């Protein structure tokens, strides 16, 4: 799972770099002007797309990058985080209503670990899951739905944990036409450090829960 997630992250970065080199990407300011012409409906529609996309396994980094490109770093990050959190709660609620049997096949033995982690440290566990880019975002949402974690803890941990990766992706989207710029390189570097910290934190949390059990 970790290896697959890292490969997907690398492929996304490579794809963005290739796109920037061989395709004519409109300037972000131009796109934001066009989006602004759509009026107040545009942000709502985009947040809804993020929510629905999250619930149906659409790649979250793509939507977060698009948020930065279409709305800028600040406003785009807010919209994306709101949409992703709503989508996470949709998946969480669906799984909670369907029950354990509906998602157990997706997670296998990992479901038992998730149950232990979420039961003991709901908000912290959710933060770790969100900081780990190697854990499928939507899969974690459905998995959490059949654990004992409280909905409010899951929502709070999700919103907080989404901030770093979403802002970094929005920065990349805002600078998509110039991925060689200092801020793009800085965003990619911070993203890599964040991934390493998330893996370390996640291992310590899971190990601590396993020992306590």
Rounded distance, CA 58 to CA 95, Å? 17
Among 170, 180, 169, 168, which residue's Cα sits nearest to residue 20?
A: 180
pLDDT at 160: 92
Could you list the pLDDT tens digit for every one of the 213 residues in the chain?
444 444 555 555 555 555 555 555 556 666 677 777 778 888 999 999 999 999 988 888 888 988 988 898 899 999 999 999 999 999 999 999 988 888 887 777 667 777 777 776 778 778 877 776 556 788 888 888 988 888 999 999 999 989 988 988 888 877 765 655 676 666 666 666 766 666 676 666 656 655 655
Under 8 Å CB-to-CB from 5, ≥6 apart: which residues? 132, 133, 134, 135, 136
What pLDDT was estimated at residue 3?
A: 46
DSSP 213: -
Predicted local confidence at residue 169, as pLDDT: 84
Check residue 89 and give its pLDDT.
96
Q: Is 122 helix (H, G, I), strand (E, B) or coil?
A: helix
What is the pLDDT, as a whole number, of residue 85? 97
End-to-end CA distance of the chain: 24
- Residues 79, 67: contact at Cβ < 8 Å? yes
């Amino acid at each position: 799972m970790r290896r697959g997630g890292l490969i997907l992250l690398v492929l996304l970065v490579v794809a963005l770099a290739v796109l920037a080199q061989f395709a004519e990407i409109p300037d972000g300011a131009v796109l934001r002007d066009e989006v602004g012409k759509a009026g107040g409906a545009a942000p709502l529609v985009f947040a809804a797309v993020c929510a629905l996309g999250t619930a149906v396994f659409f790649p979250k980094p793509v939507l977060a990058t698009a948020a930065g490109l279409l709305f800028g770093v600040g406003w785009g990050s807010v919209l994306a985080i709101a949409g992703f959190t709503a989508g996470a709660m949709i998946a969480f609620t669906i799984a909670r209503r369907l029950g354990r049997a509906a998602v157990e096949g997706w997670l296998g033995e990992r479901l038992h670990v998730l149950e232990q982690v979420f039961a003991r440290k709901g908000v912290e566990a959710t933060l770790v899951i969100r900081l780990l880019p190697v854990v499928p975002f939507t899969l974690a949402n459905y998995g959490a739905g059949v654990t004992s974690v409280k909905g409010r803890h899951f929502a709070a941990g999700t919103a907080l944990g989404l901030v770093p990766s979403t802002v970094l992706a929005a920065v990349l989207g805002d600078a998509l036409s110039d991925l060689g710029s200092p801020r793009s390189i800085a965003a990619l570097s911070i993203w890599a450090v964040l991934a390493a910290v998330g893996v370390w934190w996640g291992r310590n949390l899971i190990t601590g829960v396993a020992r306590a059990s």
